[in-house]
């Protein structure tokens, strides 16, 4: 667990968050806070606003109303986001990690040390010199995790990181996510996969149609969901 010591960006809060596009309200005004510690899984059907919530929280897009508040400034530099389909630069796997480190001003021996460490921990050491774009989708997603891990973020967002992966690659990604969490990084992850949510969540944020419907510890959410929407979703009745 990371300590909420001096200068941490956590806890972070989304306050009255609204996002509108094309005259439609896609995020419909909710509050949510990210605390140090638990793995937060944002759950909900397609179109619930899960990806938008991550992008708003990470500062990639600006809310139409409301605000995102972190406990320390320049929060995005202390976060990382792993996308559903990560963009790999046209260079080697190792150079992709180097690029992320260079942008955080990490150079020389420290850069080499971190690169070697994250490639080893994600099982990519043997592929380090391969062009990143010839790696399989599963390997690319592990490389995206390595690239995110290398900068040692306080908070790691993951946007449906296993949605395009087979079960073996999914398991590899989940193990890496747990390892990153174990090393002290707060995890906030979206998924529409109930099994994955049960495996990874310490707490669940359930979204539906841009609203925050339920926010509860994982055990309680799965055993006794408080809202009809969450009950229907857990029973596999698709909601729209």
Partner 1 sequence: MNEFSQAFGATGRMITTLDRDLVEIVVLSLRVSLTAVAVAALVGLPLGAALALLRFPGRRALTVAVNALMGLPPVVLGLIVYLLLSRAGPLGVLGLLFTPTAMIVAQVLLVTPIIAALARQVVEDLWTEYEEQLRSLGATPGRAIPTLLWDGRFSLVTAVLAGFGRASAEVGAVMIVGGNIDHVTRVMTTAIALETARGDLALALGLGIILLLLSLAVNGTAFLLGEAARAGAR
Contacting residues toward partner 1, per CB under 8 A: 55, 58, 60, 76-77, 80-81, 83, 86-87, 89-91, 99-100, 103-104, 131, 133-134, 147
CA torsion sign for 57, 62, 63, 67 is: positive
Minimum CB distance to partner 1, residue 102 (Å):
9
Number of alpha carbons in the 13 Å side-chain half-sphere of residue 60: 12
Burial class (CB within 10 angstroms; exposed 0-12, middle 13-18, buried 19+) of 209:
middle
Whether 82 and 141 have beta carbons less than 8 Å apart is answered as yes
Minimum CB distance to partner 1, residue 104 (Å):
6
**Cβ closer to partner 1: 8 or 79?**
79
The C-alpha atoms of residue 232 and residue 240 are separated, in whole angstroms, by 11
Minimum CB distance to partner 1, residue 146 (Å):
13
**Cβ closer to partner 1: 92 or 227?**
92
**Cβ closer to partner 1: 87 or 223?**
87
Minimum CB distance to partner 1, residue 187 (Å):
16
**Cβ closer to partner 1: 24 or 90?**
90
The C-alpha atoms of residue 60 and residue 164 are separated, in whole angstroms, by 23
The C-alpha atoms of residue 206 and residue 240 are separated, in whole angstroms, by 14
């Amino acid at each position: 667990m990371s300590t909420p010591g001096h200068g941490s960006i956590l806890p972070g809060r989304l306050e009255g968050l609204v996002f509108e596009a094309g005259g439609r309200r896609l995020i419909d005004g909710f509050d949510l806070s990210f605390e140090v510690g638990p793995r937060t899984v944002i759950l909900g059907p397609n179109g619930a606003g899960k990806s938008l919530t991550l992008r708003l929280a990470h500062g990639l897009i600006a809310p139409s109303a409301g605000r995102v508040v972190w406990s320390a400034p320049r929060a995005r530099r202390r976060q990382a986001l792993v996308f559903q389909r990560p963009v790999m630069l046209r260079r080697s796997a190792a150079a992709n990690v180097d690029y992320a480190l260079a942008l955080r001003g990490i150079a020389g021996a420290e850069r080499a040390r971190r690169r070697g460490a994250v490639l080893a921990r994600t099982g990519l050491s043997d592929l380090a010199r391969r062009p990143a774009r010839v790696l399989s989708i599963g390997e690319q997603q592990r490389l995206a995790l390595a690239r995110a891990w290398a900068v040692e973020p306080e908070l790691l967002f993951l946007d449906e990181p296993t949605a395009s992966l087979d079960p073996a690659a999914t398991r590899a990604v989940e193990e890496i996510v747990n390892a990153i969490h174990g090393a002290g990084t707060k995890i906030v992850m979206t998924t529409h996969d109930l099994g994955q949510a049960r495996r990874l969540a310490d707490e669940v944020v359930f979204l539906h149609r841009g609203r925050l419907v339920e926010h509860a510890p994982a055990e309680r959410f799965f055993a006794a969901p408080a809202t009809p929407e969450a009950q229907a979703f857990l029973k596999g009745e698709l909601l729209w």
